Amino acid sequence: MNHVVFLHGLGQTPQSWQEQVVALPQGWTASAPWVHGLDLAGSHDFDVDAAVAAVVTGLDAGGVRRAHVVAVGLGAVVATRLAARFAARVDRMVLSGGQVRQSGLAGWLQPRLLGRVSDQRMQSQGINRARVMAVVRALRDLDLREDLPQVVAPTLVVHGSTDRAGRPGDRALAAGIAGARYEQVDGGQRLNTDNPRAFNAAAFAFLAERGLSAVPDA
C-alpha cells in the first residue's frame, strides 16, 4: 500500500494539504501531521531532529513501515533529514522550497518580514507568532550539507517559477541528492496551495513511477 506523509511549511498548517489529499490516487493513504514545534496545542519549540523523531513516531503509531514523503518549506527541511537519518522509512520524496543552509540574509530578513504580519492575521491562519519566531531562530544554524549524500530515496525537487528567493535552496537540494530530479512549474514558494494542480501533477506522477525505490522491502 502507498502511504504519503505530507509535511507543511512555515506559516502553513496540516490543512494546507487539502488539495493534495483529495487528489490521492485510488487506494493510497495519507497523513498530514503538524510539524513538531508548530502545533498550537504543543509546548515545544521547533527543532529539526525533534520534528524528524515525531514523524517516525507517527509512522510507527500508524503501522507504516515505509512511506512516500511530500514536503514544502520547513517541512522539506525535516523531510531531508528524515530521509538521511532514517533511509529505510522513506520510499520516494518530493521537496519544494527547501533549504540546505540558511543564508545570513534570509536569517536577517525573516524576523523583520514576520514582524509586519498582524497577530490577528496569523491567528486566523492558525499560526502562533512565538512559535514562528522560535523556528526562525532554530534555522539560523541550519546546515544539511552532510545529510544530502546520505539520502538514497528517489527524489524530485519541484520549484515554483516566481520563487526567486527559494531557487538556490531547491537547486542545492537537487544537486546534493544523488539522482534527484529538478522540475520547475508555474507558482510561488508554497506550490501546494499556490498552484496545487501543477504541483499535484508533478508530485503524483513521480511517486507513481515504478522501480524507483532504493531501499528494498524487508
47: domain CATH number is 3.40.50.1820
Name the nearest CA neighbour of 214 among 9, 58, 24, 66.
66
Number of domains in the chain: 1
- N-term to C-term CA, the chain: 14
In a domain, 10, yes or no: yes
The dihedral formed by the CA atoms of 41, 106, 48 and 188, expressed in degrees to the nearest 10: 70
In a domain, 215, yes or no: no
The answer as to whether 136 is a domain residue is yes
Summarised one tens digit per residue, pLDDT across range 152-168 is 999 999 999 999 888 99
Name the least confident of 19-33, 43-57, 73-87, 126-140.
126-140
Residue with cell 493510497: 28
pTM, to two decimals? 0.87
Domain that holds residue 135: 3-207
Chain-centre distance for alpha carbon 111: 21
Strands (E), the chain: 3-7, 29-31, 67-72, 90-96, 155-160, 181-185
Most confident residue range from 11-25, 52-66, 121-135: 52-66
Determine the Cα angle at 204 with ends 4 and 194, to 5°: 95
- Between strands 29-31 and 155-160, the pairing is unpaired
